[in-house]
Amino acid sequence: MNADATPHVLYRHELEPRWRDLDAFNHVNNSNFLTYLEEARIQWFASLRKPWVTEAFAPLLAAVHINYKRPVPYPSRLAVELFAEKVGTTSVTLGHRITDAATGELHADGHVVMVWIDRASGKPVALPESIREFTEPPSGP
């Protein structure tokens, strides 16, 4: 993806950091960013209304990359935006941004790689159609 291009946002999840998310420096501890990303992914999956996990297959998080840009103060309202960076045969790379929900100020960005596996064998399987269908940007002008 071109660094200047605005990606097609698949899902936007807003949240308010909890008091317990703070660290000794009185801002959100970086470890909580993973939880915020997970919450956004699960909400996005639930919004698909098509199977993304079954008794036969499930997604695994294979890689996480986060660029921390600026601390999140308390209180704050955040927006986590997800977008598809790459759709492969067995995996999808979801880009993410964590911003101030009101101002758009960037707190973190990066991506995660999710691989779908056969639950019995643990081997990669084809990406579910529901994921493939909902990671494609809309066509047309």
Residue 127 included in any domain: yes
Residue 4 included in any domain: no
Residue 1 included in any domain: no
Q: How many structural domains are present in the chain? A: 1
The parent domain of residue 64 ranges over 11-135
Give the per-residue pLDDT at 71.
96
Q: What is the DSSP string of the chain?
A: --TTSPPPPSEEEEE---GGGB-TTSBB-TTHHHHHHHHHHHHHHHHH-S-S--SSEEEEEEEEEEEE-S--BSS--EEEEEEEEEE-SSEEEEEEEEEETTT--EEEEEEEEEEEEETTT--B-PPPHHHHHHHSPPP--
Residue 66 included in any domain: yes
Residue 2 included in any domain: no
Give the per-residue pLDDT at 2.
47
Stated pTM of the model: 0.87
Residue 141 included in any domain: no
CATH number, domain with residue 56: 3.10.129.10
Give the per-residue pLDDT at 1.
46
Q: For the chain, which residues score pLDDT lower than 70? A: 1-6, 137-141
Give the per-residue pLDDT at 140.
52
